[in-house]
């Protein structure tokens, strides 16, 4: 089956090149024009995907050829994007950065897999004509890849923009589709933190953020040309996945759904539902105890950022501990941290605790 699917990959030369801000700005502008946009993030990423989903008011799905077979990645991309006016895919790291020297699992490889044109976000800091050489190298490095245009980021001024634009368009024969200046006080319109951006559930001021993103797109990015490039992407062939039969028996699976635990792939939750699960959202901060459930799923996140409030909810901690002692199946992602003040019993001994400790310790230790 062949489908028409307007699509575009936003890639960068490296991490922190500005592609997330550019992607969100384009997404906001597309939605302002009334287009339905499906959103995707390359690779196993939670935070950027959460922001794409939040700004796009849609489920953002990861396209990860490392964990999932490439043909399945392609078919799921098509099946979830078909029917939308525009499919926007944000890359990760540099466009050719992958697992090895051969470039396994790169953003470029994903773009070729789904036959999507690429717009390259280029940090223009303290550089001019040299950027044309860099872009030219990207174009020739994998000639079968379609790099359709460039968006400049952190441009110092009008003269700076003109020199870079003229150089790229003369030597690379592709258009410069935008030039985002240094944003001054708005340089970090979404606050950064260890391992990336702050998560959407912890962010205040979403209305103002959307206003700033639309302003960036309308003032500095050629959205009409972006749409034309996406519309010019060719047809895609796919083999439709066979739908999984719904399970007859239902079980209740609880999962922490709050600003502490946010790292869940939508496909995992959907797979649980197809296999017979009714998903029950629970707040680790505001609920006093687990509801009646058959299993508990605790995803990852940043519990250390709200550690005191989380650890103050002793009734929920005790409820999880009691459920674990009584044999409730619990899947908890290791590595999450929690602040404790008091003591825990561990393997028959009581230990004074004051500080930050792993969540999996709390599941297996007894508060006293």
By three-state DSSP, how is residue 223 classified?
A: helix
Q: At which residue do the structure tokens 């959103």 appear?
A: 39
CB-side neighbour CA atoms (13 Å) of 35: 24
Q: Measuring CA to CA, which residue among 295, 317, 299 is closest to residue 262? A: 299
Kindly provide the b/e burial profile for residues 148-186, where b requires at least 16 CB atoms within 10 angstroms of the residue's own CB: bbbbbbbbeeeebbebbbebbeeebebbbbbbbbebeee
Q: At which residue do the structure tokens 């939508």 appear?
A: 266
**334: annotated active-site residue:** yes
Assigned token pair, 2: 């062949």
For residue 332, the tally of other CB atoms under 10 A from its CB is 21
DSSP of 323-354? HHHTT--EEE-TT-EEEEEEEEEETTEEEEEE
Known catalytic residues are: 334
């Amino acid at each position: 089956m062949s489908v028409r699917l307007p699509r575009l990959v936003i890639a960068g030369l490296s991490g922190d090149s500005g592609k997330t801000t550019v992607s969100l700005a384009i997404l906001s502008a597309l939605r302002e024009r009334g287009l339905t946009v499906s959103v995707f993030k390359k690779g196993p990423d939670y935070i950027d995907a959460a922001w794409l989903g939040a700004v796009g008011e849609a489920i953002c799905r990861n396209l990860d050829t490392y964990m999932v077979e490439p043909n399945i990645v392609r078919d799921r991309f098509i099946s979830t994007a078909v029917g939308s006016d525009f499919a926007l895919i944000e890359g990760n790291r540099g466009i050719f950065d992958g697992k090895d020297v051969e470039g396994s699992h790169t953003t470029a490889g994903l773009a070729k897999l789904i036959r999507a044109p690429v717009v390259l976000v280029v940090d223009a800091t303290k550089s001019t004509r040299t950027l044309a050489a860099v872009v030219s190298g990207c174009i020739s490095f994998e000639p079968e890849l379609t790099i359709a245009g460039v968006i400049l980021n952190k441009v110092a001024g009008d003269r700076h923009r003109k020199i870079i634009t003229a150089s790229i368009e003369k030597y690379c024969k592709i258009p410069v589709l935008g030039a985002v200046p240094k944003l001054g006080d708005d340089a970090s319109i979404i606050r950064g933190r260890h391992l990336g951006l702050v998560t959407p559930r912890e962010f205040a001021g979403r209305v103002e953020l959307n206003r700033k993103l639309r302003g960036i797109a309308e003032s500095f990015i050629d959205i009409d040309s972006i749409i034309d490039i996406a519309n010019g992407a060719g047809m895609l062939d796919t083999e439709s996945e066979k739908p999984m039969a719904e399970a007859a028996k239902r079980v209740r699976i609880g999962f922490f759904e709050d600003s502490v635990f946010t790292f869940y792939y939508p496909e995992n939750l959907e797979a649980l539902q197809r296999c017979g699960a009714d998903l029950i959202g629970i707040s680790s901060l505001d609920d006093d105890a687990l509801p009646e459930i058959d299993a508990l799923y605790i995803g990852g996140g940043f519990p250390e950022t709200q550690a005191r409030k989380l650890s103050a909810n002793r009734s929920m901690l005790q409820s999880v501990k009691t459920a674990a002692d009584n044999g409730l199946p619990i899947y908890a992602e290791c590595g999450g941290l929690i602040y404790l003040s008091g003591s825990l019993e561990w393997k028959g001994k009581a230990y004074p605790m004051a500080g930050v400790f792993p969540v999996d310790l709390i599941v297996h230790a007894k508060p006293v």
